[in-house]
Amino acid sequence: MDYVNCQLCPRRCCVDRTAGQVGFCGCPDTALVAKAMLHQWEEPALSPKGISGTIFFGGCTLKCAYCQNRAISTCATGEAVDSAGLRRIMEELIDQGAENIDLVTPTQFLPTIAAALLPGLCVPVVYNCGGYERIETLQALEGLVDVYLPDLKYADNGLAARLSQAGDYFPVAQAAIREMVRQTGVVQWQGEQVVKGTIIRHLILPGQVENSLKVLDWIGETFAPGEVLVSLMRQYTPMSGLAAPLDRTVTDEEYDAVLSWMLLNGLDGFTQDRSAADFSYIPGF
């Protein structure tokens, strides 16, 4: 797992980032920290007091047309930080009261991040990603990550190709999430906090109820009750320049249909109300 002949993500660009070459993510061989903060809006089970130590990294291995973090995801932006500097940021967040270290979009910088996680931290490490991951890369993280927090955006590869430039998204994410669950096992709680396990996020997209139902079907068919948690997200906020139906929020009818399907599948987890679809929840980068 390194930046030479880079194959960290499923795109396997095979560029030498140490020589200044860049691949799909456009990122260098030094981690770019776009923002580090005490974040209040993650799932309550990750931080019962509402204090996640969140580190947002620049760049991304997906190009989601509707990305709410596009200010940092669509280009290589942020402060260049080596492993020692990243470790200091983590420890400073913990000193400020962080209940976890929440690594947001970390894949493109994993060699730097993995070194920063040794030795282990005194709070859970959360790997917060888009679900588009290589099994081999995840295997190199075994023992370093306590809670995996992947998106499962699509069961429709055509939709994934159109909206995220990842036509192989569903099979890749299926395999990745299976590997995450293999590593963490069933969800483990310490009081009100999940300290080990996998929480699968799914963002409902306007006009794409069928995609959401298929995502939930797969989760229900693949994992035993209690083996994973599901975070059903209603926070889709339309960014400028998007065509219909992505130019609007999710309707009550769409949300209720997906929520009902989640319950019919017997999936445990978390939901969001209509107020989550608001620009105020997007960090200022």
Q: Judge whether 28 lies within some domain.
A: no
- The residue range of the domain holding 225 is 34-281
Beta bridge partners, 202, equal 232
Q: How many CB atoms lie within 10 A of CB 30?
A: 20
- Exposure string for 53-92, b = 16+ CB within 10 A, e = fewer: bbbbbbbbbbebebbbbbbbbeebbbeebebebbbebbbe
We report the CATH number of the domain holding residue 275 as 3.20.20.70
pLDDT recorded at residue 62: 97
Is there a domain that residue 10 lies in? Answer: no
User: Could you tell me the pTM of the whole model?
Assistant: 0.95
Residue 87 has, within 13 A of its CA and on its CB side, a CA count of 13
Residues in a beta bridge with 270: 231
Domain count, the chain: 1
User: pLDDT tens digits for 150-196?
Assistant: 999 999 999 999 999 999 999 999 999 999 999 999 999 999 999 99
Distance in angstroms (rounded) separating the CA atoms of residues 141 and 182: 12
Structure confidence at residue 73 (pLDDT)? 87
Each of the 285 residues of the chain gets a pLDDT tens digit; together they read: 899 999 999 999 999 999 999 999 999 999 999 999 999 888 999 999 999 999 999 999 999 999 988 888 887 899 999 999 999 999 999 999 999 999 999 999 999 999 999 999 999 999 999 999 999 999 999 999 999 999 999 999 999 999 999 999 999 999 999 999 999 999 999 999 999 999 999 999 999 999 999 999 999 999 998 899 999 999 999 988 899 999 999 999 999 999 999 999 999 999 987 655 455 555 665
Cα gap 32→217, rounded to integer Å? 36
Q: pLDDT tens digits for 73-90? A: 887 899 999 999 999 999
Interatomic CA distance for residues 203 and 261, integer angstroms:
14
Question: Residue 70 in 3-state DSSP?
Answer: helix
Is 264 in a helix, a strand, or coil? Answer: helix
**Among 102, 99, 108, CA closest to 77:** 108
Is residue 71 situated within a structural domain?
yes
Is 17 domain-assigned?
Answer: no
Domain contains 107? yes
